[in-house]
Amino acid sequence: MEQERQITLSNYAQQMGVSYKTAWRWWKQGRLIGKQLENGSIWIDESMVLPEEETEQTGLQQQLEIAAQEREELRNLLYEVLFELRKLKGDSEPNHWPSEVGMDYSHLVSLLEAGSWQEANEYTWLLLLALVGYEEGDDLALEEIEALPKIDMETLDRLWYEYSEGRFGFGVQEWIWEECDRHYEVFCDRIGWRIQSKWLSMDQLRFSLSAPVGHLPAIIWRNRACYGLGYHSPDEVLETLFSFSIPLPKSGRVV
């Protein structure tokens, strides 16, 4: 192989518009003719060019992956900005959490402050039962959710939003619900209640701030996977639940 017909693998990858890792994989698979020198550099035959359509497809796939990653980073940045905007608007009440029925939220505050997200999620469910006079083990029907005291539901939303720094809460979930055009499967994929078309059960959730935005609280389904919501459709349950949420500032709309 003549030296003047050779090109380094890194230069080849740059010319073809693919990553070095992709070009290296092609070389290992024998799709590129070349050799590795003692210093570790890889030289290939410059005349060995992949079919144009295959190269374009690989480059397009890489662009789509980069675009998806950039969108996710922008979403996370947006939620951080919304959190700061909401604090500036004075929506948070860190020293006073009102209740229509005299409910004490100090224990939930302690759990959220400590980052005990799983315990906070379970305790939030117990609070909802207590707000309608139910006991542990009962389920909430749609009419019971509709009867929940509005001020208390707003307080729960504020608590989750405040202590998660804008990552969790009913208002955050409502924002994502609207972004997903109220499509339940897309919504569950987005907030991590469904992964690769597999519906998660309660014990499979991620109870940490590293979970997807909107992952918690998860209280619309209990002992079954999140596709099963009893006699009511997911849309009905979510729309009713979100009617209590505190609106987040939205682009192009003053709230």
The Cα angle at residue 105 between residues 101 and 109, in degrees rounded to 5: 165
Place of tokens 């208390």: 152
More confident residue, 56 or 212: 212
How do residues 92-141 score in pLDDT, each as one tens digit? Answer: 444 478 899 999 999 999 999 999 999 999 999 999 999 988 766 666 77
Flag whether pLDDT at 228 surpasses 60: no
How do residues 147-188 score in pLDDT, each as one tens digit? Answer: 899 999 999 999 999 999 999 999 999 999 999 999 999 999
> Pairing between strand 42-45 and 34-36?
antiparallel
Q: Which helix (H) or strand (E) holds 7?
A: strand 6-8
CB 34 within 8 A of CB 42: yes
CB 201 within 8 A of CB 225: yes
Place of tokens 């890194």: 10
CB 9 within 8 A of CB 27: yes
Flag whether pLDDT at 254 surpasses 70: no
Place of tokens 């619900």: 177
The amino acid at residue 104 is D
Mean pLDDT, residues 32-50: 75
Q: 88 by DSSP, 3-state: which?
A: helix
pLDDT at 12: 81
Residue 232's nearest CA partner among 143, 169, 150, 137 is 143
More confident residue, 236 or 190: 190
- Domain locations in the chain? 6-50, 51-93, 102-243
